[in-house]
Each structure stands twice: as structure tokens, then as C-alpha cells.
Structure 1
């Protein structure tokens, strides 16, 4: 990788290998200082407008009238293929349809609901963390960061108690399988299960997320079962992946910043501020894609209708014009208008629950563990969507009197 002072040409941001490099953020900082908007000819994705600044990111994400989600919200489908679920999934619709779909599931992800779930989340988190205390070795990704989000999502969906172990196992393999083939096979097993339970809930609705999607109406008609299934799958993936990747990469960051780890145990520490800073610092959702609806101007450049615009979240969340000392991990940072959970109409619907789960995890960890020792170099997942870790092997050293 070129040295930062000579970073005058935009590297291929669609190559996950770029994000695995230690110099990715310094390179983007230098490029952002030169211009907030760059044009990229990606070998896999074609021409893209790349947004690197916080202000410009907010402009794009906040204006659904100019920048649409219906042609795709993430890279990965290539140059010309529309993603599956376009116009049907909440993530791939624009207002007003997006708002109608969002309203169907909002009661299950509101701040009030997240507050109601806090006790359950803390209970589950204590079980997981205390089970790992003193063990010779634990994979933080598989053994700690995924367990609670998976269980909570199963409970919200309405998965019967007797099926939860089976569903958690399928999700575990779908998200954490060792090979792409194993992950794809598990996902193909999960979809028919959701379809079957959706059919049952149509005739026997209950107070759960599946029933809400398969029995309620959007635009005067009941949501087709296949569309309900697509949205359920999207909610399940989003509800698990964001917390899993954020918590594991945040844990790694805390082992590299022991002053921040100690700050979590100090009097006056505010876990809400701490979680926001961990979200900003990790920025695991690498990008958000939008498509220009009409010819428009962005940062003084002409963007034509149909051209794709990508907001690169880690770059926006290290913008020194928005964040003082952006390369410092400051758990008391305020204000903190990070974009790790999105911005505008598509702001992450699961944000309140994600915050509760992250606060619970690091609250329990900082109480129970004196330190977290990384046993071997972590393995990055090399994903362009959620850039996190495939494994993080650690030992939790109990605090005095524990373990």
C-alpha cells in the first residue's frame, strides 16, 4: 500500500483487502482532506461515487427524494443486477412504502421495547460471560458475541421454545460456518423453517414479530408471505450481525487501549456514551449504497440519474471536521453524531436493542473480568458488508473473588 502522503489516487474501496490494512484509515483521511467525493471505477461494481466526509454522508443518507434505496442498499450484486427483494424488503424500499413496512415491526424494536428487554439481555449475557470466565480459551466471536443476539431475536420472532436450539444452530452455521458452502446450506435450511412458521402464524397469529408481518396489511393488502419472509430474514441477519461484529471488534480495540478498558470501571462512567464511541470506532457496516433518482449536484460534482453513490462509513466516522481527535478512542465522547447505525429514513430500526445488548455485554465483562487476553492474532472476515472478525481467541481472566 502506498505511503499516506502520496495518497492522491483513490484505491479500490470495493476490495475487502484494502480494509484489512492498517493504513486504510490514514489513507482515507488524506484523501478526504483533498476532496469529500471521489469517483471510482471498480472492476467488480463498475463506476461509483465515493463519499468520504461526514457532512456529505448525512446529505446522501438523509435525502431519499434524491437518492434511492430500491436499486440496492449494499454493493455485492455486480454492475447491473438488481438485488433480490428490491421494492419488497424494508432495506430496499423508499418512502412511503418503506415507512409502512417499518411501522409493522417498529413496536418490537422501539426504545420502550428495548428497555423492557434489558433485564432479559443482562441475564443472558451474565450466563454467557460467566460460563467463559477462567476457561483456557474462548472464541469471542462464536462463544460470546453471537449468543445473546441470536437468542433475543428468536424470542422476538416468536420461535417456539422447543425450536430455539435448532434455529440458533442454523443461524450459527449460516453466519459463522467455516466455508461459504456451509453458510449457504444453513441459510437454505433457515428460509423454509421461517416459511413454515409464517404459514402457521397466518392462521394462528400471536404477539410476535412473525405474526405481525404475515397478518398485517401494507397499502391496503396483506403482505405476501414471500415478502414477509424476505423482511424476516433481513431483520434476523441485521439484528445479529451488527452486534456480533461490533462487539468482537470493540473487544479487540479495548485490549489494545487498556486505558479505555479501565475507564469502563471508573466511577462516573456512562455506558451510553461508551457504547456510542465503540460503535463509531468500529464502524463495522463498511458502506451504504444509494442510486441517484435524477440528475443532481453533490459536492460541486454532477451526479447523473442512475449513477450509484456509496457512503463509506469508517471514513465519515473519522472525519476531523465532525469529531475532535477522531483517532482517539474516547468513551466519554460527546457529542457523537456517528453514522455507524445509519442516518435518515433508513436509520437502523434495531438500534435501541443493539445499544442495550452492547451495553450489557461490556458492562458484564468489565465487572467480571480483570482483563481479556488475546491468545493469537485475530482473523478478519474480509467482508465488504460487515467488516469484522471470523475469530478472536481470548482468555477471560476473572477479577479477584470470581471464577
Structure 2
């Protein structure tokens, strides 16, 4: 429910409380901040103090200015005791120009529209097999049994992971990035890193036509990537390729369940799929925040930002800014224009944006072509995370579409 300005009192602002995202209403806080304090100084908690930006234009301006707002110190808030992000200055996501462009140049070709079209038939086959299994179950968890599998299988294929290992990585990814205790998540993530360490060694000895081989054989300014750079970029590609699409596709399905007239519009006119996918991306806004570090003193609005200050961009807020989007709290598969920031902007625009869009489109297309409706089979459970905005579980049943 959006914040009701007529209620008078300001909400308590605490953007680093995970419970706000699992059980609360972060949109109330974001709406109040957009209206009253769009460049908000957030006090230190277990996390260091930071600036919170909630308006679309401010966030877009920061994305655009990679020289002033650096990614190299990390792009996510970290508890103060955790130290620097180990990927800082080493991965595609955590580098600034010119290094960022050089790393991106190694993998860009794999994510172009032409390359994705070349594997679209394979993606459709994967989507079909995943939906087949879900239909056989009758009831399933849309997050784990459907939305998680399609992007994970595809990024595994692109990275040269043998098919026999896909289920192993699927299980580890669910342990590492789903619910559960912190220790289980940590050990599962370490297992994923260990897997890619072994795979990269194998690809170095016998390169193939895949992304891991690109990294182990790639050169920047004539120099190979270090072992740590290879491993961290493998992890970056795997997590980005598997997790963000999962969360968006599942969150989009919940939006359709909650707005059945929109699903009906889509089934009656599948030509709306491209705009529907954009609306799903805007509505779900899967990165809850992105962080930058100011490299020099700068003014944002009426606030003075010092060099070294952390600046956070709250993307779900930007994508509900009513100065940019008409009736932003309405889910509308026909929305045009739809200049959301869910996939970033500028230097760090998501390298996998085309892949994500096609995966989501093919999943919904598969359900439409089979004349299936998705009905709730229990209460959805949201992630208690300040990093990703989405669902941990969505119990559903797939049923023949009613006439």
C-alpha cells in the first residue's frame, strides 16, 4: 500500500531493516522520502552511514556520472564489520572505466541480441521442459520449480557447465541465495566458488566455446586476468544471470495473480508480451539498492556530498516516481513509455538485459501457449533482504485456463 500523505506523520525511516522488505511496506518510506527528503542522510546502524536517493532523476544522474560516483569500492551496502568487498576493482560490476569497459568487452558479444536469438530455441526448449515438470506436479513453488530453473540452466549452458552438474549448481544456488541461516548460505556460496575454480582450471587446459573459456583465455592490455579476477567474474556472471531473472519472473507472476485482469489481457493478446515484460521489470525492480562511492565533493539537490561518502540508489522507489510514471502504483501490461531503471543506466547498464527479457518472455509465452492459468496455492513469502526485492516462495497450481 502506498504511503498516505494525508495521514500527516512521517514514517520511521530505516532502509536497512530486512524485515521492512519481508513483512513491511518499504514503498511508504520511499514515497515519503521522495516527497520530503529525496537525498536523505541515513544514520549509521550495523551499516555505515549513507545517502539515500529515491527520486528517478537523481538516481539516473548518478548512474550517468561514473567518474564522480565510483563502483570500485562496492555496489552494495555491507555491515561495517565485514570490510571491503573482495570484488572491488576486479569484476564487471565493481570496476570503473576504463577497466570496466575492457572487462565488458570480453563478454559483451555473448549477450548481444544476435547471440541471444541464436540460443532462443534452446531457451524455449528449457522453458517447455520446466513447465512440463511443474504441470505434472500440479502444485509447485513458482520461485524454485519454475522461475529459478530457466535462467540458471541457461547461464550454466553459456558458461560451459556440463549438463550433469546443472542440478548440483541449482541446489547450491538455492541454498546460497534463498532463505535459511547465514552459515548455510555462506558455505553454499563457497561451494559455488570452488566449483568455478575447478571449472576454470579445466577450461584453461582445454578451452571451449563458452563464457568461462572467454575469461580464462582473455587478455586486457596484453595481460591475462588473474586467477582471482577469473573466479570473481565467474561468480558475478553466474549470480547475475541466475538470480535477477528468477526474482523478476516470480515477482511478475505474483503481480499477475494479484491483477488477474492483466493476465487476461496478455492471454487475449500475446502481442503485449514485450510491454508486459518491461512492466514486470519496473514493478519488481529486483535490485533493492545499488551503491556508489563519491570520488569528489558534489551537490545533489540541496545536499552536499563529500568525497568518500556512500550514495545508495533505491531503484524500486525510482520506478514508482510519479513525476516520471503515470499512476505508478498501477500494474499495467500496456504501459508506454516505460523508462524504468531496473537494469541500470549508463556505464553499468546490465550486460544480461537482453537475455533476461527473452527468458521472462519465453516463460510467460509457454504458459499462454499451453492455455494455463496460475493460481495461488498458499501465501507468498518475501525475502528478508535489503539487496534484492522479491519472493522466497510462491506456492501455486497450474490449471487449464477458464473460458
**Do the aligned partners of residues 165 and 35 (structure 1) sit closer, same or farther apart at CA in structure 2, a change above 3 Å counting?**
closer
Match of 2:297 among 292, 295, 298: 295
1:126, CA displacement in angstroms? 1.3
Work out the CA distance in 1 between the residues paired with 2:24 and 2:188.
33
1:77, CA displacement in angstroms? 3.9
Counting only pairs closer than 5 Å after superposition, residues 62-81 of structure 1 correspond to structure 2 as: 62-78=64-80, 81=83
What are the superposed Cα offsets for residues 185-232 of structure 1, whole Å, 9 maximum, x if unpaired? 222222222111211222221111001101111233100112111011
1:400, CA displacement in angstroms? 6.9
CA contact (8 A) 1:134 1:397 kept: no
Counting only pairs closer than 5 Å after superposition, residues 37-186 of structure 1 correspond to structure 2 as: 37-78=39-80, 81-133=83-135, 135-176=137-178, 178-186=180-188
Q: Is 1:282–2:274 an aligned residue pair?
A: no
Q: Is 1:366–2:368 an aligned residue pair?
A: yes
Aligned to 1:196: 198
CA contact (8 A) 1:52 1:312 kept: yes
Work out the CA distance in 1 between the residues paired with 2:164 and 2:32.
54
Q: TM-score, normalised by structure 2?
A: 0.94
SS at match of 2:43: strand
Aligned to 1:245: 247
What are the superposed Cα offsets for residues 317-345 of structure 1, whole Å, 9 maximum, x if unpaired? 00011101111111111111101111111
CA contact (8 A) 1:145 1:248 kept: yes
SS at match of 2:291: strand
1:133, CA displacement in angstroms? 2.0
Q: Which deviates more from structure 2 when the two are superposed, residues 14-23 or residues 37-46?
A: 14-23
Q: TM-score, normalised by structure 1?
A: 0.94
Counting only pairs closer than 5 Å after superposition, residues 215-254 of structure 1 correspond to structure 2 as: 215-254=217-256
CA contact (8 A) 1:380 1:389 kept: yes
Aligned to 2:28: 26
What are the superposed Cα offsets for residues 215-256 of structure 1, whole Å, 9 maximum, x if unpaired? 111233100112111011011011111011111111111100
**Do the aligned partners of residues 18 and 296 (structure 1) sit closer, same or farther apart at CA in structure 2, a change above 3 Å counting?**
same
Aligned to 1:314: 316
CA RMSD of aligned residues (A): 2.1
In structure 2, the gaps of 5 or more residues are none
1:292, CA displacement in angstroms? 0.5
What are the superposed Cα offsets for residues 359-387 of structure 1, whole Å, 9 maximum, x if unpaired? 01111123325421112111111111112
Q: How many residues align?
A: 401
SS at match of 1:44: coil
Match of 1:330 among 319, 322, 332: 332
Q: Which deviates more from structure 2 when the two are superposed, residues 203-212 or residues 288-297?
A: 203-212
**Do the aligned partners of residues 301 and 21 (structure 1) sit closer, same or farther apart at CA in structure 2, a change above 3 Å counting?**
same
1:161, CA displacement in angstroms? 3.3
Aligned to 2:379: 377
**Do the aligned partners of residues 19 and 182 (structure 1) sit closer, same or farther apart at CA in structure 2, a change above 3 Å counting?**
closer
SS at match of 2:399: strand
Q: Which deviates more from structure 2 when the two are superposed, residues 285-294 or residues 202-211?
A: 202-211
Q: Is 1:261–2:256 an aligned residue pair?
A: no
Work out the CA distance in 2 between the residues paired with 1:396 and 1:341.
29
**Do the aligned partners of residues 168 and 25 (structure 1) sit closer, same or farther apart at CA in structure 2, a change above 3 Å counting?**
closer
CA contact (8 A) 1:7 1:31 kept: no
CA contact (8 A) 2:52 2:314 kept: yes
SS at match of 1:269: helix
In structure 1, the gaps of 5 or more residues are none
1:268, CA displacement in angstroms? 6.3
Q: Which deviates more from structure 2 when the two are superposed, residues 176-185 or residues 293-302?
A: 176-185
SS at match of 1:133: helix
Match of 2:343 among 333, 341, 344: 341
Work out the CA distance in 1 between the residues paired with 2:287 and 2:145.
22
1:70, CA displacement in angstroms? 0.9
